[in-house]
Structure 1
């Protein structure tokens, strides 16, 4: 059978509330607008965990962090966990990655046949939290609000340089695939690091948002004393007391963030243009997703690491042959990407489905299916014990052994202002959701496993930094002797084979 190609376009820290049905009207995103018009648009998609490495391991494997054991940004993603790249490659696909996936550990491929770039973040255990030292800030790698107070304009930054490189190599790979020297179907994952902070954008994108109506948060800052305990921990972890964030800082940060969405839109447009010019458009699935969101100053919170909508909700759009375009409101998860891709590519996952926490979204997109309650986990910096959440219909419940429960009704209260956990009218909902979560999770065991993992990694990291140091960071290899023209090649054959289309 002929299987479709797959182009996965992943971005970093893109707030899903800005994609209520494709990009919000104030965003300057012509290419994502066009993609949305032909996509199944999942308006309420949630990350498996609101932090980069855990979210991405779960996105690739369809498993929650409690199964992958990728609890935080320094936890190893082990080689024996199948990813969508493994499944597609096993079925005969060529699999490639350009950009970030924040793999930690010596396996830097996880099913990808090749990586075209290195990662932007370290692959070792140096960013391991420590639950035995609650409340302690690790200043050299924890978030701080310098990204907010330093927001503005620059023509080149560390992250702009990275994403420019990611887009270049992805485009070059599409051209290589277009030459059809390999008959296999392909899956190319292109993973950008924007619009992740720091909130710094190129001038021409910044200028698009002069007078933007969305530069102020909808929910104003909540005083520290009135925040829930986990939000207080996150504020302390971000060293909020050491930074005076002004209203202008907030506006500049949000403006740069929106500008970087437009920057990413342009890069995505370049790739889709290559796809179309190289005659791939009719048989290629395009999937657009983020790993997690960004609070963007709502409630006075920044970045991610919590289960509020700005942090936990992400865009998900899928344009695929035979998949109807339209908005789907039922809550879904990034855990669902793996089984959905397998469904669209007609792969049999029956042997591993008991290990997955995701569900195929194809029936839901076709109007004939459903999705059960959506689970989330968090056990990384800013926490002192694991947090879990469940989105079921309009309700979201957050539990942690250290904190009172948080229950919100998102249909009635989309900005999550009121905690209904103590409302007698919601006692039945609270009891039912709590029972469902206790049946799914053993929080005491989860906590013990996280602490054991942290302790092991602290020992290993200290040991490996003594003496000779061999980093796990991925090193892209280029065979210079096989590129362009070399004397072991026939020039005529080379020129013909590297041309696409041929004979025109």
Structure 2
């Protein structure tokens, strides 16, 4: 097929099924719905790690977190190993970014010839305090992440609008380029703070919002690994009341629609500039959000609300109005970009496959998506494998979890201890251990993090170092 341009739009913290095109009964995402209708949507897409910096490092390189050692939000991608942006740039393609990247710094040799409105880990160090894991602090006290919830206009809202407007200008400038280009557009919504312009909040009346499922107050018992996370930083207690929980959800939903509006500006520009027949468009997010389920907020867990992501692709040769059940991952984006632009396929390294190719194939229910977590609030590592039908969680030093996604899409019933599922659990464990040594990787992550902690003066100083909440964005 003739090479195409690639427009990659990445949001932040968008739960995989909170879109009209995914069948949600009231979430308004008209622009993402249109994009899905003109291409293929993947109903089983996952992040390689449910936290920003590691997920984005994997996206940048097509490698798993344990392969590149970007364990947490203080150990960011610095251009090594080379990823798709460097491959494209070295091969003479135009490859630029607008918006959030969350790499080490603007000077890191990641491959983009120009970065506009770039956001990287704060001051080049990120959340150093989150690297203190051996031993992990008992608790760090009340979370500041949800102090402000509701109507308003945050720096993030203004930033996303500016990113979308700049992308519109960029497309006009490059509409006549002869050689395929690649543009990465990184928006922040629906990432906290849960502050959203009034017009979007009004779309989701607070009194009509159902409370999150599986709250411990209803009798649900959290896995010990999750319980330890909650004790370390109890976001639900910081939110406090059912009224604020509903307001938090309404604000999050409003941010999704606000983000969809920004995507709509960009998609309209693609159409206006006559680029539809020459451009592959990919939409996804770096990870999801727990949004109150199990009494948990933010991300960092192995459940699908945290590890699942929306993913869709549209463009020449992509089947329209198709939903693929094949498990896919952000890991696959590198192969997709290099394949679609016609960049030398021999450059591709790593475990991924082009989702453009997968979209044209029959579903592969036994293909596995993999995710891992070694970051803030985790005493030991957690790993996930997901096929179309089952989802398996391996926790170092703790019991595993297994969920039947067909019968139990909310992952409410752990089947791992039931005798009739012993063979499935054993098969997943074998697949995991063929991919890595879970305990050895856990030890390596902690060793690397301890080196970082030592470099910042030791445990006590490290716990006071780094941004306490969301990464700030440039105001102009």
TM-score (norm 2): 0.89
Gaps of 5+ in 1: 466-472, 479-504
Match of 1:210 among 198, 205, 212: 205
> In the alignment, does 2:293 pair up with 1:298?
yes
Gaps of 5+ in 2: 462-470
Give distance in 1, aligned partners of 2:388 and 2:253.
30
Q: Residues 97-176 of structure 1: matches in 2 within 5 Å?
A: 97-104=97-104, 107-108=107-108, 110-119=110-119, 121-128=121-128, 129-138=131-140, 145-148=143-146, 150-154=148-152, 156-176=153-173
Give distance in 2, aligned partners of 1:241 and 1:378.
21
Q: Shift of the alpha carbon at 1:399?
A: 0.9
> In the alignment, does 2:329 pair up with 1:327?
no
Q: Shift of the alpha carbon at 1:172?
A: 2.1
Give distance in 2, aligned partners of 1:404 and 1:47.
23
> In the alignment, does 2:336 pair up with 1:340?
yes
Q: Shift of the alpha carbon at 1:18?
A: 1.7
Give distance in 2, aligned partners of 1:387 and 1:377.
6
Give distance in 2, aligned partners of 1:273 and 1:346.
25
The structure that has the greater radius of gyration is 1
1:487 alignment counterpart: none
Match of 1:366 among 344, 350, 360: 360
Farther-moved stretch of structure 1 (333-342 vs 359-368): 359-368
Task: Answer whether contact 1:54 1:70 (CA < 8 A) is retained.
Answer: yes
1:116 is paired with a residue of what secondary structure? strand
Q: Shift of the alpha carbon at 1:244?
A: 5.8
Seen in structure 2, the aligned counterparts of structure 1 residues 66 and 414 have a Cα distance that, compared at 3 Å, is same
Give distance in 1, aligned partners of 2:157 and 2:21.
27
Task: Answer whether contact 1:92 1:185 (CA < 8 A) is retained.
Answer: no
Match of 2:425 among 422, 426, 430: 430
Farther-moved stretch of structure 1 (323-332 vs 369-378): 369-378
Root mean square deviation of aligned Cα: 2.8
Give distance in 2, aligned partners of 1:475 and 1:19.
26
> In the alignment, does 2:388 pair up with 1:390?
no
> In the alignment, does 2:191 pair up with 1:193?
no
Give distance in 2, aligned partners of 1:80 and 1:240.
34
2:8 alignment counterpart: 8
TM-score (norm 1): 0.85
1:376 alignment counterpart: 371
1:115 is paired with a residue of what secondary structure? strand
Match of 1:275 among 261, 266, 270: 270
Q: Residues 200-279 of structure 1: matches in 2 within 5 Å?
A: 200-210=195-205, 214-221=209-216, 226-240=221-235, 243=238, 245-279=240-274
Task: Answer whether contact 2:101 2:118 (CA < 8 A) is retained.
Answer: no
Give distance in 1, aligned partners of 2:311 and 2:151.
29
Give distance in 1, aligned partners of 2:168 and 2:256.
19
Give distance in 2, aligned partners of 1:445 and 1:300.
31
Seen in structure 2, the aligned counterparts of structure 1 residues 352 and 187 have a Cα distance that, compared at 3 Å, is closer
1:444 alignment counterpart: 439
Give distance in 2, aligned partners of 1:98 and 1:83.
17
Q: Shift of the alpha carbon at 1:107?
A: 4.4
Seen in structure 2, the aligned counterparts of structure 1 residues 214 and 377 have a Cα distance that, compared at 3 Å, is same
Q: Shift of the alpha carbon at 1:161?
A: 2.4
Task: Answer whether contact 1:200 1:256 (CA < 8 A) is retained.
Answer: yes
Farther-moved stretch of structure 1 (270-279 vs 419-428): 270-279
1:209 is paired with a residue of what secondary structure? coil
Give distance in 2, aligned partners of 1:120 and 1:262.
25
Spell out, residue by residue over 1:179-231, the C-alpha distance to the aligned partner (whole angstroms, 9 max, x if none). x4x54321111110100111111011111112685542243445799211121
Seen in structure 2, the aligned counterparts of structure 1 residues 98 and 12 have a Cα distance that, compared at 3 Å, is same
Task: Answer whether contact 1:109 1:115 (CA < 8 A) is retained.
Answer: no
